Chains A and B, each alone.
Chain A
Amino acid sequence: MDDLIFRLRAVRFSYLNKYPALCGIDMDIAGGQKIAILGANGSGKSTLLQLLDGLIFPDAGSVEIFGRFLDEAALNDADFSGRFRSRVGLVFQNPDIQLFCSTVKEDILFGPLQLGLDRVKMKKRVDEVIASLGIGDLLERSPHQLSVGEKRKVSIATVLAIDPDILLLDEPTAGLDPQTSRHIMDIIIEANEKGKTVVTATHDLHIVEEIADLAYILSREKKIARSGPVEELLKDEELLRSNNLMHIHKHRHKDAVHIHPHQHLEHHI
């Protein structure tokens, strides 16, 4: 793979050296790809994204980015760290973590200001992001005054304002109404069409086909159960069921009780 960005080999990570979160992950991510990391709750999706963002480091194995090991020593190099943070952006699962400033505007400007982006370019970029997400009316508000959907959009804006090449998203549509969920998906698709590499962690199978071409399924054992084209993986009901991504659904049609496997490929209305 010529344009390889991330290369993970035999990555292991545990919390407090007691609770394993990832047990031997191999993964290659190339430029411009749309990748989904699928897995049930507690399968290690968020941990994996934090590793890719250089917020935590593996206990064993290696994470490489652009051919350089991503470790504490690398991120202590101010030059590398600045370039890395400008090129990789993570949208956290909990927007209340992401939005720590007093106002939405300050939150959006936080990243570009820390990274010392050119003021004129920064203003242009921020204005574009605000317009594309339709959050112009929220700028002077405090994050605690926003709805969940608004918080999520602003969280994405805080990362898009940096204009990273690689966008990592942790459960971007969790808990959102269908319309907001659709808007977030459109933002992800648009970012990829503009050449960004998008890695989305989710267990929402109904969004996967649109936001990813390639998927990695994390198992209960915190390993990669299977990877491959999304269409192919979604057809494998046994794989999805054994990894807690599908369940048997029982419901009533008129007078008859109907039982079938349920994948959350579509929203029930």
Chain B
Amino acid sequence: MRSALNKHNFIGRSIRGALAFFRESFLSGEYASYRAFLQSLDPRVKAVTFLLLCLTVLMTRSIYSLVFLYLFCLLLAWISKINLGFFLKRTWIFIPLFSLFIAIPALFSFISPGEALLSFNFLGLKAVITRPGASSALLFVARVITSVSLIILLGLTTRHFELLKVLRIFKVPQVFVMVLGMSYRYIYLFVEIVQDTYQGIKSRVGEAMHYRKGQSIVAWNIATLWQRSFKLNEDVYSAMLSRGYTGEPVLSDEFKTSFKDWAWGCLVVIISALALYLNHG
């Protein structure tokens, strides 16, 4: 009976899962505070150059260029003191899994006709993997993994609030950037409230709880959390007014570029130009 109840203890599992996600997110935020190469770059330059690298990856048709760009990304991760095991796990395990589901059908002759590379019988049907199919699937997976690696590397080596501030160079309104920053800040407060509430429930009713009862408690707590967030919203607005907010936020902008940023920018432009030149070579 107890094991059946534990099996249905979706509250505990959900909360533990959510907390683990936030803990991981918090821990990965630690990488951004390291004193290493990418962390030392101006976030604006970093964001623009990574965007350029991603565009290059998307436009490159050469598998060799993609492999080079991926190795370049790993090199950047290494010199930025990112644990390569952690980085590879983060990029390879989850996201390419989905891209493989898209790429696998492209291997076969019914999607990509052409010269047969391999044929076999599957459930009485003849399946043919073609050379153009294999080539386009490989290209697709290489593009996805390189782009995802670049974006994850950018996220790991830049503090989240700096990434938000970077949005302003793309002319995103200040108020929008501020609201995003505040949402990010208060998620942690709400996670703590959820954690405390769960501990409170557990201390009174224990782990063994029928799932129907659990659902009812969760629904009630979602409503309470909503009320709390509404009250917090009002209070925070009062605190903003109290410090002179008039509806048009003024935010600090303390980014500074150095020679290193310009040198890095030039290197990325050269790499992108070479990769695109090889497309036509």
Contact = CB atoms under 8 A, between A and B. Distances in A.
Interface of A: 50, 53, 55, 78, 81-82, 85-86, 89-90, 92, 94, 96-103, 105-106, 109-111, 113-116, 140, 142-144, 158-159, 162
A114 B246 contact: yes
Contact of A101 (B182, B189, B232, B238): B182
A96 B188 CA distance: 11
B72 interface: no
A158 B236 CA distance: 14
A109 to B, nearest CB: 5
Given A92-B235, A94-B235, A106-B251, A100 B246 contact: no
Residues of B in contact with A, size category: 20 to 34
Given A142-B185, A144-B188, A97 B243 contact: no
Contact of A100 (B33, B239, B244): B239
Interface in B213-258: 232, 235-236, 238-246, 249-252
Contacts of A101: 181-182, 185
Given A101-B182, A144-B188, A82 B236 contact: no
A261 B160 CA distance: 53
A116 B250 CA distance: 9
B29 to A, nearest CB: 9
A102 B244 contact: no
Interface string B250-281: 11100000000000000000000000000000
Interface in B151-205: 159-161, 164, 181-182, 184-186, 188-189, 192
B244 A86 contact: yes
A207 to B, nearest CB: 23
A102 B164 contact: yes
Contacts of A98: 239
Contacts of A90: 242
Contact of B184 (A53, A82, A94, A102): A102
Contact of A97 (B159, B235, B251): B235
Nearest to B234: A97
B243 A106 contact: no
B243 A85 contact: yes
B182 A82 contact: no
B277 to A, nearest CB: 41
Listed residue (A53, A142, A162) with the most chain B CB atoms within 10 angstroms of its CB:
A142
Is chain A's binding surface mostly helix, strand, loop or mixed? helix
Contact of A55 (B188, B192, B242): B242
Contact of A106 (B238, B239, B245, B252): B252
Contacts of A103: 161
Contacts of B252: 105-106, 109, 113
B240 to A, nearest CB: 7
Given A96-B189, A102-B185, A140-B33, A114 B250 contact: yes
Contacts of B184: 102
A78 B245 CA distance: 11
Interface string B132-143: 000000000000
B250 A113 contact: yes
Contacts of A97: 232, 235-236, 238-239
Nearest to A143: B185
B243 A159 contact: yes
Contact of B238 (A50, A96, A115): A50
A102 B243 contact: no
A115 B242 CA distance: 11
A162 B185 contact: no
